[in-house]
Chains A and B, each alone.
Chain A
Amino acid sequence: MRHVTHLTIGPVGFRIGSDWRAPIAQLEDLYRDYPKPGIPDFNVHLFAARPWRKILRPSVMIGGDYTIPDAAPLPLAQGLLAAEMGMNLQMALAQRRYLLLHASAVERDGKAVLMTGISGAGKSTLAALLMARGWRLMGDEFVLIDPATGLAHAFPRLISLKNQAIAVAQAAVPDGRFGPLLAGTPKGDIRHLVPDLRAIRKMAEPAEPALLLFPRFGFDAAERPVPPSEAFVRLTQSSTNYVHLAERGFDALTRLVQSVPARAIDYPDTDGGIALVEALA
């Protein structure tokens, strides 16, 4: 690959190669405060499907150690999104050391709050707003549970804000560093927010899971306890590698749901959501 960068996110190192300079330049700017890995764990490739596609209506295919066949390419203007998707893809398909939960997480006093839910539940928005209120952001996409210790490890990649969440986060983090507005992506408008320096400097520090939340955005405020069996089933659905980890995954997840209380929360707006999380944590 012509253009290459390396970056470390939490305990994972990536090498990202690209046929084009622009996505690498954007990554190097937005991830400038992140450490460089020694030997990367995963490779991500951003490449043109045909040589002339480097120049003519350039479109970015996402590959690397693992690839999804027939994935649609993205326009070069969305190359940063392609890089982020490429890193997520390698994690989702190849991560074997940690149990991967599709969740956001924040930490205070060594205790981690894990928030999981379907796309649109507000995981990223809640995490960004809690970061603005002094919580340490651990990640907005994946939480890594170490089967050996039960601890949650951070994966603080860029916070991916979609559609209305962009303005909400800009108002809450006025001095935040934001990436370019990526309009008209398959998920609507996307803008990335760089985690604050504390999140980056402390990203190697794991935390003890203290609360599991299953948020839903757009409903009247409500809260109910989630029994361990329901939490278990919902978390297997939100884990991309539970099956691959086999008994280690079973042990890690049973330990998590047996030792950490779980709550389902409905919230009508972000202020209500933040109030609920802070009241429960």
Chain B
Amino acid sequence: MTALYRAAAPETLRIVPLDALTLVYHRASGVTHVVDAPVPEMLEALDRDDLTVDQLLTRLSDSYDLLDADPAALAIRLDELVEAGLVERL
């Protein structure tokens, strides 16, 4: 079965775009993450719906110019976000 992903509950995150980089404060852990594109876009897409890797890739490709539309690379990014607690794997 293909895993679905969902962003952590919005009330647990503080997302502050600064310039090229975005700050994500994770209330549950107290950790501040400094992230680059497409992480904020991933969190936004996964906040609206639970998505598989392929669905997320399609969603991001529709909305943004992805330089590297590689599902394997996106899955690695997602695993990192799951590890950090910013995304849940359902």
Are A232 and B30 interface neighbours, CB within 8 A?
no
Report if A220 contacts B (CB, 8 A).
no
B13 shortest CB reach to chain A, Å: 11
Chain B residues within an 8 Å CB radius of A236 = 32
Given A232-B18, A247-B14, are A254 and B23 also a contact pair (CB < 8 Å)? yes
Are B20 and A227 interface neighbours, CB within 8 A?
yes
Report if B16 contacts A (CB, 8 A).
yes
Chain A residues within an 8 Å CB radius of B32 = 236, 250
B11 shortest CB reach to chain A, Å: 12
B21's nearest neighbour on chain A, judged by CB, is: A229
Give the distance in Å from the alpha carbon of A69 to the alpha carbon of B44 in the complex: 46
Report if B27 contacts A (CB, 8 A).
yes
Are A246 and B30 interface neighbours, CB within 8 A?
yes
Contact size class for B? 10 to 19
* Contact for B20 among A229, A243, A250, CB less than 8 A: A229
Chain A residues within an 8 Å CB radius of B18 = 227-229, 232, 254, 257-258
Which residues of B1-35 are within 8 A (CB) of A? 14, 16, 18-21, 23, 25, 27, 30, 32, 34
B9 shortest CB reach to chain A, Å: 15
Report if A233 contacts B (CB, 8 A).
yes
Interface string of B28-51 (1 = CB under 8 A from A): 001010100000000000000000
A78 shortest CB reach to chain B, Å: 38
Are A232 and B34 interface neighbours, CB within 8 A?
yes
- Chain A at the B interface: SS class: helix
Chain B residues within an 8 Å CB radius of A247 = 14, 25, 27, 30
A250's nearest neighbour on chain B, judged by CB, is: B25
Chain A residues within an 8 Å CB radius of B34 = 229, 232-233
Size of the A side of the interface (Cβ < 8 Å), in residues, is 13
Are A227 and B19 interface neighbours, CB within 8 A?
yes
Chain A residues within an 8 Å CB radius of B19 = 227-229
Are B30 and A254 interface neighbours, CB within 8 A?
no
Give the distance in Å from the alpha carbon of A254 to the alpha carbon of B32 in the complex: 11
Give the distance in Å from the alpha carbon of A218 to the alpha carbon of B57 in the complex: 49
Give the distance in Å from the alpha carbon of A227 to the alpha carbon of B19 in the complex: 7
Are B20 and A232 interface neighbours, CB within 8 A?
no
A236's nearest neighbour on chain B, judged by CB, is: B32
Give the distance in Å from the alpha carbon of A50 to the alpha carbon of B57 in the complex: 67
Interface string of A203-238 (1 = CB under 8 A from B): 000000000000000000000000111001100100
Given A243-B30, A250-B32, are A232 and B23 also a contact pair (CB < 8 Å)? yes
Are A254 and B16 interface neighbours, CB within 8 A?
yes
Give the distance in Å from the alpha carbon of A55 to the alpha carbon of B30 in the complex: 48
Interface string of B51-75 (1 = CB under 8 A from A): 0000000000000000000000000
B30 shortest CB reach to chain A, Å: 5
B35's nearest neighbour on chain A, judged by CB, is: A229
Chain A residues within an 8 Å CB radius of B21 = 227, 229
Give the distance in Å from the alpha carbon of A232 to the alpha carbon of B23 in the complex: 9
Chain A residues within an 8 Å CB radius of B16 = 254, 258
B22 shortest CB reach to chain A, Å: 8
Determine which residue in B18, B20, B21 has the highest number of CB atoms from chain A within 10 A of its CB, and name it: B18
Give the distance in Å from the alpha carbon of A116 to the alpha carbon of B47 in the complex: 38
Chain A residues within an 8 Å CB radius of B23 = 229, 232, 250, 254
B27's nearest neighbour on chain A, judged by CB, is: A247
> Considering the complex of A and B, which 4 residue pairs feature the smallest CB-CB distances, nearest first?
A229-B21, A228-B18, A229-B18, A227-B19
